[in-house]
Every structure is written in C-alpha cells, then in structure tokens.
Amino acid sequence: TIPNLREEADFCEVFFDNVRVPAKNVVGEVNAGWALAKAVLGHERIFLGAPSRPEYALTRLEMLAEDRGAFEDAAFRSRFAKLRLDLYDLGSAFERFAKVLREGGTLGADVSVLKLFCTELYQRITEETLAVAGEEARFYDDLPLGDGGHVDAMNLFLDARAPAIFGGSNEFQRNILAKAVLGLPSR
C-alpha cells in the first residue's frame, strides 16, 4: 500500500510480470489498448470533475465562517461569493459532459477542463477554510463549532491535493488541452 498525505493506506500499486492472457479475455482489438485506455480515462475525468467534493468543502467552509464571524469581513464575503459562483459554474459544466454520456455520446479531450476546474476549485476552497481556521487547524482533527458541529479543515486541505494528481496530473491535463483541443504544437 501507498500512504497518502494523511498517512492513511488509501491506494496501492500492483505489477504483473510475464503474464499471459488467453485470447478469449482480450478486450477490444489486439494492440489497440491505448484507445480503450483513453476512453476509460475520459470517464474517470468526468468522475473526478464531479462537483461533490467542492460542494462538501464549501459547506464546511460556510459552517466554519459563520461560527468564526468571517462573514463580517467584506473581503471574505467577496472571496466566498466567487467560490460559490465557481461551484455553480462547475456544476453547469459537469452537467454538460454528463448529458453527452446520457445521450450515448463519447467524451472528447475537452473533458480535461472539467477535471482541472474541479480539482483547482476544491483546493481554493480548502485553502480558504485553512485561512478561516487559522493556526487551530493544525491542532485539531475536528475544529469544534459553537452549535456542536465540527469542521476538519486540515484533512480537507490534505484531501484536496491528491485529485490534482490522480487520473492524470493537472499538468498533463493542460498538455492534453493544448494539443488535442487547441491544436498547439508539442514544442
């Protein structure tokens, strides 16, 4: 197993050497595996672009901000409003790609935009959560709220780092968009 930033065994790697696969178990055409892998990655990227994680994080930020009085600060209110609007835009973009799949279509390279948007929004929300939590975030797994609830600001922050790597790093997604969508040269 490979530990994540929280030292939890979140995933692992398995390597197979000298494996033979019977012909009846071959998926698709022989030597056409990359095309199949790209299709699977497209589906993975829409999953990674789902707004659920940023929605959860924004809800936690709102709870913490209300508890700590952060909404009294106009600059915070402005940043929070931008995050909320970005989340709305993410939801709209996600629905656009999901509709393609529901109608039996295939996703193009442009689905990489969704993964980029989602993972970077998730990170910005959790960074704002840490800013509101202040130094307390490093001392508590669960920051207590006045209403008896809690917010785990540091774990949200750490959790937001990994999605920018798995499913193809965000840097790789930018390369895909540059070449396949914008038609930019490799060098």
Q: How far apart are CA 119 and CA 117, in angstroms?
A: 6
Q: Is 136 one of the annotated active-site residues of the chain?
A: no
Structure tokens at 127: 């960074």
Active-site residue (options: 13, 44, 55, 120):
44
Length of the chain: 187
Give the β-pairing of 9-11 and 143-144: unpaired
Q: What is the DSSP string of 10-33?
A: EE------S----GGG--SSTT-H
Check: CB of residue 130 under 8 Å from CB of residue 15: no
Residue among 156, 132, 126, 121 nearest 71 (CA): 132
Count of C-beta atoms within a 10 Å radius of residue 117: 19
Positions marked active-site:
44
